Structure 1
Amino acid sequence: MKKNKTFETVRKVIMIVLGAVIAAYGLEAVLIPNSVIDGGVTGISIMGSYVFGLPLGVLLFILNLPFVYLGYKQVGKTFAIMSIVGIAALSISTVLLHHVTIILGPEDPLLIVLAGGIFLGVGIGIVLRNGGALDGSEVLAVLLSRKIPFSVGDIILFLNAFIFIGASFIYGLESALYSAITYYIAKNVIDIIQVGLEKSKSVQVVSAKSAQIGEAIGARLGRGVTFTQGRGGFSNEPTDILHCVINRMEENKLVSIIKEHDENAFVVISDVSEVRGGNFKKRDIH
C-alpha cells in the first residue's frame, strides 16, 4: 500500500512538472513575445516584468507564495506542496525557455491566441487534475469552486477579466482583447482536461416500462437508477419516472437500451456540472 502511494505521488509530481513546462512554453514561445499575456498572478508578474524589468521567474515565485499559504490553510498540506512544485517548475521553465525560438509572429494573431490558449489550457489542466496549481488565481479558484456552483475554469476567467483591463493600459486594447480570447480558449481546454471523457449527464425517462429499462441499465451499464412516482398531466395516470447519472461515453448505449424496451419513451438528457456522494461509481459488469 505504501509503495503504491509513493508511486502515485511520484507520478503526480512528474505530471505537474510536465504541465508547468507546457504552460511555460506557451508563454515564452507564443504569448509573451507577441504582447499577449496570461491571467491571474502570472499575468500580473508578466506586466511587472515588462514595466520594472524584473525577471519573470522571480516574480512568479514570490507573488504566488501568499496564495500557496492560503491553499495550505484552506485545502491542505498535499495541495500546497503540489502547488509549490508546479509554481517552482513554471518559474524555472520560464527562465530556461526565455530564449526559445518563437513559433508564431504578430502576423498570425488568430494562430497566436489558438496555440497559446491550447498550451495554457493543457498545462494548467494537467496540473489541476493532478492536485496542484500553477497560479495563485487557480488556488483561489479551487477554493471558490467548493463554495459556488461554477467550474474552476469559469472562476479563473472571471478573475482574469480584471487583469485584462489592466493589461489594456500597458499593452493596448488590442493585446488585452487577444489575451481575453486566449483565456476563453484555455478555459475550455482546462475543463476538458480536468473532466475528460467522464463528464456526467443526468437522464430522466418517463415510460410505462420504466422497471424493465431500469433493470437493463443496471445489468448492461452497471449504473444504479432511482424511481420517483409521477402522474401524467394529460392522461392523469400514475407512472414511474426513472433517473440515473451516466458519463457521456455511455449516452448512445443508454439510448439504445431505452429504445429496445419502449420506442415512445420520453427521455431528457442534460449535462451535469458535478456529481458527489451517493453510488455514482460504476459497478463492474462482465
Structure 2
Amino acid sequence: MKNSLLPHWLSDTVYTLIGILFCSFALKSFLVPNNFFDGGVTGISLLIHETYHYNIAYVIVLVNIPFIFMGAYHVNKMFAIKTFIAVILLGLALLLIPFQPVTSDKLLVSIFGGVFMGIGVGLAMRGGCALDGIEVLALYTGKRISFTISEIILGINIVIFLIAGIKLGLPTALYSILTYYTASRTITFVIEGLEEYTGVTIISAESEAVKRELVMNMGRGITVYKGERGFMKDSFDVSHPVDIIYTVVTRLEVRRLRNIVHELDPKAFIFTGIIKEAAGGILKRRARH
C-alpha cells in the first residue's frame, strides 16, 4: 500500500515545487517590480505590500494563514498541511532566490506575469495544495450567503481592483485585471490540459451502426439509455423507441466523433457538455490532481 502511494506522493511534491518556482518568478520578475496586481489572496498580498511596503515574502505567508485554517475545516487537514508547507516554501523562495526583473513593458508584464503565475498556481493545485486560497474563502462564505462561489470570487476581486485603481491609478488596475484573466485561464489549462473531457449524447435512428463505430473503431466505452423520439408539433402522438447513446471523449476527439456519426446519420441529434473530472471506465489515462 505504501509503495503504491509513493509515486503519487512524489508527483505531488514535484508539481508543488515547480509551481512554487513559477509563482516566485512571476512575482519577483514581473508583478512586484512593476507594481502590478493579481486577483485573490495574491492580489490582497500585493496590495498590502504596495500600500505599507512590507516584504512580499512575509506578507504572502501571513495573509494565507487564515485561509489555510479555513481549508482544514472545509476541505481536509492533509490539504491544509500541504498548503501550509507550500506557502512557507513560497515565502522562502521569494526571500532566497535572486530572480531579477525581466521587463517594464506593461503589456508584457500583465500577460506573462499572469501566465507564469497561472502555471505556478495550477501546478500546485495538481499537487494537491493551494498557493492562493481565494476559493477556500468563497467556499466558506458561500455556506453563509446565497451567492455562488464564482460570484463571491468575482466580488472579492472587484474590491481588490477598485482599491488598486484608487491607490495606483486606473491604468495599473486595468493591466492588473488583464494579469488576473491571463492567470485564471492558464490555471484552467494547466489543471484540465488538452484532454479536458467532453460528454457526448447522441440520438439517432441509426443507433446500432453508431454504437458499433464508437466501440469498434474509436475504442470508446458507451452507455445506452432507452428512450423515445418523435413528439413533433404536427404529430405529437407519434413516437418511436430509440437508443440514446452517451460516451465520454477528449475535446480533441469531438470533431472526429461528430464526423463519424453524421456520415452514418446526417439527421442525428448530438449535444455535448464539459466534464471537469472523470475516472474509470474506458478512458485515456490522465494526470492525477
**Structure 1 pair 172/75, CA: closer, same or farther in 2 (3 Å)?**
same
Q: Which amino acid aligns with 2:254?
A: E
Task: Give the corresponding residue for 1:181.
Answer: 178
Pairs within 5 Å for 1:166-177: 166-177=163-174
Partner-residue secondary structure (3-state), 1:242: strand
Structure 1 unaligned blocks of 5 or more: none
RMSD: 2.9
**Structure 1 pair 33/62, CA: closer, same or farther in 2 (3 Å)?**
same
Q: Which amino acid aligns with 2:225?
A: F
Q: Which amino acid aligns with 1:274?
A: K
Tell me the alpha carbon deviations over residues 133-162 of structure 1, each in whole angstroms, 9 at most, x when there is no partner.
Answer: 00221433577899999888x865553222
Q: Which amino acid aligns with 1:131?
A: G
Contact 2:200/2:273, CA 8 A, preserved across alignment: no
Shift of 1:22: 0.2
Measured in 1, the distance between the counterparts of 2:270 and 2:202 equals 7
Contact 2:31/2:113, CA 8 A, preserved across alignment: yes
Q: Does 1:73 align with 2:73?
A: yes
Task: Give the corresponding residue for 2:61.
Answer: 61
Shift of 1:248: 0.9
% identical equivalent positions: 29
Q: Which amino acid aligns with 2:123?
A: I
Q: Does 1:139 align with 2:136?
A: yes
Contact 1:22/1:122, CA 8 A, preserved across alignment: yes
Task: Give the corresponding residue for 1:272.
Answer: 274
Contact 1:223/1:246, CA 8 A, preserved across alignment: no
Q: 2:223 aligns with which of 225, 233, 248?
A: 225
Q: Does 1:113 align with 2:116?
A: no
Partner-residue secondary structure (3-state), 1:198: coil
Tell me the alpha carbon deviations over residues 156-210 of structure 1, each in whole angstroms, 9 at most, x when there is no partner.
Answer: 5553222111111221111111111111111111111111123222323232111
Task: Give the corresponding residue for 1:85.
Answer: 85
Shift of 1:16: 0.7
**Structure 1 pair 155/82, CA: closer, same or farther in 2 (3 Å)?**
farther
**What's the TM-score once normalised by structure 2's chain length?**
0.84
Measured in 1, the distance between the counterparts of 2:22 and 2:176 equals 18
**What's the TM-score once normalised by structure 1's chain length?**
0.84
Partner-residue secondary structure (3-state), 2:222: coil
Structure 2 unaligned blocks of 5 or more: 285-289
Contact 2:222/2:245, CA 8 A, preserved across alignment: no
Q: Which amino acid aligns with 1:14?
A: V
Partner-residue secondary structure (3-state), 2:99: coil
**Structure 1 pair 151/272, CA: closer, same or farther in 2 (3 Å)?**
farther
Measured in 2, the distance between the counterparts of 1:149 and 1:265 equals 41
Tell me the alpha carbon deviations over residues 218-275 of structure 1, each in whole angstroms, 9 at most, x when there is no partner.
Answer: 333332223241322266441423333322132133224324532x132333332535
Contact 1:20/1:90, CA 8 A, preserved across alignment: yes
Task: Give the corresponding residue for 2:253.
Answer: 250
Q: Which amino acid aligns with 2:191?
A: Q
Shift of 1:6: 2.6
Q: Which amino acid aligns with 2:229?
A: R
Partner-residue secondary structure (3-state), 1:102: coil
**Once structures 1 and 2 are overlaid, which stretch shifts more, 135-144 or 25-34?**
135-144
Contact 2:74/2:136, CA 8 A, preserved across alignment: no
Pairs within 5 Å for 1:194-213: 194-213=191-210
**Matched residue pairs, number?**
277
Measured in 1, the distance between the counterparts of 2:149 and 2:276 equals 9
Tell me the alpha carbon deviations over residues 61-85 of structure 1, each in whole angstroms, 9 at most, x when there is no partner.
Answer: 1221111111111211221122112
